[in-house]
Amino acid sequence: MRDEGRGGPWGVAVLGSTGSIGTSTLDVLARHRDRYRVVALGARANVERLAAQCLEHRPRYAALVEPEAAAALRERLRREAPEVQVLAGPEALERLAALPEASCVMAAIVGAAGLRSTLAAARAGKRILLANKEALVMSGHLLLETARAHGALLLPVDSEHNAVLQCLPAAWEGGRGRPLEELGVSRLWLTASGGPFRDTPPEALEGVTPEQACAHPNWDMGRKISVDSATMMNKGLEVIEACRLFGLPPERVRVVIHPQSIVHSLVEYVDGSLLAQLGVPDMRTPIAHALAWPERMGSGVRPLDLPALGRLEFAEPDPRRFPCLGLAYEALARGGTATTVLNAANEVAVQAFLAGRLPFTGIPRVVEATLRRRPARDASSLEAILEEDAAARRLAEALVEGAMEVRP
């Protein structure tokens, strides 16, 4: 893969480089130095890990959102890697996303913090490897419209959405070709592991600890996304993302529990065929696919041993155990800024749970109460989206402070 107009490897900016997706991305890129070069790395505040990444990959730019952390990184690299220009502040991530020398941007900044930089990459017409599902959840159709207007290409890195992409006809062309209805697609099936509590009685969830919620049985993920997996809010956000990314209504995107996490998603066609993408649970597979799409390249992932699997299981999600999934469908049906409110309230509630300020079952209660009290507004501008995000966070925080008020 060569950089257009340069004849050399494609330049890649990795935003969220110190997280699990970012480190997996750098692992894949290091295996293909003849095809890619790391031109920029960005993160929130992890000085030590970003410094080590800069020393290994020698990007031209590095950025940390926290100014004090950026200053520490600048001092750290002054002697060992003086060629790396260190930037600071949230706007620095937007600058990295739009760098002329970066043909491809990995958008892996967790949560709402990644929205601005993802939009900046779209305005710059980049190939965007979308790992930050909140950008699509928060911004409604704004990100999609921006990408279309500027010729950007959105390729999903979430294992479920990437699996859908792998099962679609080539004529879909990453959303630039024929719509799915014309290609015979009937439904999309997103698989969910069910997290650590898939068999736990709903009445036993009140006393769940952060450590228990973060102990995912199949995936190694950050604490926030691990909690989202335990509540299945993560799957609800993925439903919203899938509807918007693939242009299907909510009733045509289904969720099924699949404890083994081997089948990552399925595409159902009008003739009754189901195409599934299978693989070991390792994020390097979808990352490598999105980087090389429409080609294929090695990811470093071990092959799937089919005889050793024994069997694959599927089941309907229990709405009593996973109320967050239903709330996501509700927000999607309401439209406008309702999905922005859902995401904001969930981020506040999850952080409160991780800090010991809210019980595990308080997460869906805070989200539901916030969603009920904020009417859906038009989501066609970034300003309206950010205003609603801030308002929803204030309301959710107030509900956390008086958590007993949102109990059923």
- How distant, in Å, are the alpha carbons of 92, 160, 193 from that of 234? 28, 11, 11
pLDDT band at 404 (very low <50, low <70, confident <90, very high): very low
If DSSP codes are grouped into helix, strand and coil, which group holds residue 249? Answer: coil
**297 φ/ψ sector (left φ>0, alpha ψ -120 to 50, else beta):** beta
Run of H or E including 198: none
- Mean pLDDT, residues 36-64: 97
> pTM of the prediction?
0.91
Tokens 């002329």 -> residue: 100
Please write the tens of the pLDDT for every residue from 335-366: 999 999 999 999 999 999 999 999 999 999 99
User: Closest Cα to residue 224, out of 142, 112, 148, 307?
Assistant: 112
Concatenating the DSSP letter of every residue in 104-128 gives: EEEE---GGGGHHHHHHHHHTT-EE
- Which pLDDT does position 220 carry in this prediction? 63
Concatenating the DSSP letter of every residue in 165-181 gives: HHHS-GGGGGGTSS-GG
pLDDT above 50: residue 277: yes
- Which pLDDT does position 139 carry in this prediction? 83
pLDDT above 50: residue 76: yes
For the chain, list the domains and their CATH numbers.
10-156 (3.40.50.720), 166-194+232-309 (no CATH), 323-401 (1.10.1740.10)
pLDDT above 70: residue 35: yes
- Which pLDDT does position 273 carry in this prediction? 98
Q: Helices (DSSP H) in 81-109: which residue ranges? A: 90-97
